[in-house]
Chains A and B, each alone.
Chain A
Amino acid sequence: MPNTINKHKMADLIVLITLFLITCWYAYDAFSASSHIANLILIFPVTALVLVLCSVEFFVLLSDKTVTEQDPIKTVLPVIALFITYVLTLSWLGFDVGTFLFLSVFLWVHGERRIAWVIGYSLAFATLISLFFSNMLPYPMPMLVLSTAY
């Protein structure tokens, strides 16, 4: 248990430091683009406040001794990985096939073993939603099998 607490607090500190660094980088990037007051009128004061608050929170976190219970991360990570793969492969697989594969793999990984259900539901959902959106939207959607525009 103490190991878990330390891990969570460590992760919390890493997130805080990441936010601190990203804020610093953004302020530097804005300053490099132009040091004119119109460019920094919001960014500099807000950055200063974020950095002060992050520093305060850093010490609060270090001194905090409370135990925080968290859901296990192991079951969420595969879903996140699958979602990232789905989105990043949309330009090659298209919305129709990409969605079909995403749904099928998700259902299979989460214990649905009725092949007819896995394929039937994924196929029906992917086809219907692809047809609906490609009909409704005024621009072509990337597709592999279905038509890209109607």
Chain B
Amino acid sequence: MINVDDLLAGFTLLFSDFTPWLIVIPGILIGLIFGAIPGLQISMAMAIFLPLTLYMDFMQAMLFLTAIFTGGGFGGSIPAILMNIPGTSSSIATTFDGYPMSKMGRHNLALGIGLGASCVGVIIGYSLLLLLISPISEMVLKLGPAEMATVILWGVTLIASLSGKNINKGIISGFIGLLVGTVGYSEAGVTRGTMGSIYLLDGIPAIPAMMGMFAASELFKLVNTQYLVKDESLRKVSVKEIIAGFKMAFTYPWVLVRGSLIGVFVGAVPGVGSSVANLLSYIQTKRKDKNPESFGQGNPAGVVASEAANSTSEAGSMATLLALGIPGGGATAVMLAAFAMHNITGGPQFIREQTDIVYAIVFANFGQAFLLIALGLMFIPILANVVKVPMTYLVPSVLSLSVFGAFGLTGDLTGPITVMVFSLVGWTFKRFDYSVPAAVIGLLLGGMAEESLIHTYQISGGLWGYVFERPVTMVILCLLMFSLFGGKLVSALNSKVRSKA
């Protein structure tokens, strides 16, 4: 599975000269800053700094871009934990328990846990990539549009079942999200739901909508509170506690391993990967836990599950990029551009002929994980001071920041207006127990679900029996049905057994 000669060549390539490492530290810092500022995306950071890589050789360029990717992967969890703003769709599940932990005054621990889980995730993810790059690439090639469509529907129904109080409303939210995700031009070449507005032709901007649904709506709720953390004694920033949190992440070894495995394999699925991996890991952890009700109330295992999965999904998406030349998301799309700028084409040939470079990239990421620990521990205490800011100042500042960030994403006022509209939708949904995460996931994946269904229809020639010929699709459909009715089925069986006894 591993070619030892290429492994040694990769090691030499990386460590024979110290120069490539000089650009790793600024890369991680750029990633951390862009990830930590709501609205600034990792892909945006990579795109802005992409021209710099023209002055680097391919290896240096890869080190620089993957360093931004690694830093940004953790950076996104900082606003998710402190402000309930998931910087990217891969940090959504981090908000579920990270933010409640912050409100309880356990922000230091939550940030430390996030850092620990992220670093371990990167190491596990790239270790698996080292071993499994060939099988993963073969597996991804076998996933057709039918499997993609069912994975998406599974993701949406899973998250809908998370809403807890009212599953019915959760599913309504998820499905309405799917419909909203299809607004604009369709694959069939017609426009739907735009009300004649040219700004909606490309659909509803998903990230600004997500910022509105999660962050702005939560800020409206916080208007009447004085501080994010009510108890003054809990508002302190403690490096000791951040380190304790970092160590605490290792007390959940199974959650870390499960999250990392989900991250690598689901993260390798182009487009869907990072958005679904963190949610899937969170849901599995919640299901397996003895006390599932504690999730969403500030359970550290929730943060570990999400962060382990989203940082390993980076390795998964890198596997798809390196082995197949298919970018899994915005960040890997920028990397593909860097490949092109250096006249390199990703794919089976690249893996076969430049194996030493692939191994060097993997080793570099191990190094980056350790550098992230040091830089994260220096950077987090500065950002954790957010809890000391009175809400009177924090609410309008974060609202403004989300408006600026949304403008940065769309390049016109469509972004800020989307934040405004979806903040109202999010606030209404929260007030009446509709699931905001389910709606957001639906919105993110609606267009892709429709595209996959159309491709399935075209491939099958309109014969629905085609689905029964796809074993993976059938397995995912069974899992989907189980996630919807499994809980009820198990409890019904249990009560029957008890009544017989």
Contact = CB atoms under 8 A, between A and B. Distances in A.
Interface of A: 11-12, 15, 19, 22-23, 26, 29-30, 33-34, 36-39, 41-43, 46-47, 49-50, 53-54, 56-57, 60, 70-71, 75-76, 79-80, 83-84, 86-88, 90-91, 95, 99, 102-103, 106-107, 110-112, 121, 125-126, 129-130, 133, 136-139, 141-142
The interface residues of chain B, by DSSP majority, are classed as helix
Contacts of A15: 428, 432, 434
B179 A47 contact: yes
Given A47-B179, A75-B224, A90-B413, A38 B395 contact: no
Residue of A41, A54, A76, A102 ringed by the most chain B CB atoms within 10 A:
A41
Interface string B367-406: 0000000000000000000000000110111011101100
B186 A76 contact: no
B420 A84 contact: yes
Contacts of B450: 41-43
Nearest to A122: B396
Contacts of B400: 86, 99, 102-103, 125-126, 129
A50 B407 contact: no
A57 B431 contact: no
Interface of B: 40, 48, 168-169, 171-172, 175-176, 178-179, 182-183, 186-188, 190-193, 216, 220-221, 223-224, 392-393, 395-397, 399-401, 403-404, 407-408, 411, 413, 416-417, 419-420, 423-424, 427-428, 431-432, 434, 446, 449-450, 453-454, 457, 462
Given A23-B176, A76-B221, A86 B190 contact: no
B221 A39 contact: no
B127 to A, nearest CB: 35
A43 B442 CA distance: 13
Given A19-B172, A33-B192, 4 more contacts: A19-B176, A57-B169, A102-B399, A129-B404
Contacts of A53: 168, 171-172, 175
A98 to B, nearest CB: 9
Contacts of A107: 392-393, 396
Contact of A136 (B40, B393, B428): B40
B416 A41 contact: no
Contact of B397 (A41, A42, A103): A103
21 contacts: A19-B176, A29-B192, A36-B188, A37-B457, A38-B186, A38-B187, A42-B446, A43-B179, A50-B175, A70-B431, A76-B221, A84-B420, A86-B403, A91-B413, A110-B392, A112-B392, A121-B393, A129-B401, A133-B407, A136-B40, A136-B48
A11 B238 CA distance: 44
Contacts of B190: 33-34, 39
A91 B417 CA distance: 11
A49 B393 CA distance: 43
B181 to A, nearest CB: 9
Contacts of B188: 34, 36, 38-39
B172 A50 contact: yes
Contacts of A42: 178, 182, 446, 449-450, 453
Contacts of B182: 30, 42-43
A53 B399 CA distance: 34
Contact of B454 (A41, A86, A87): A41
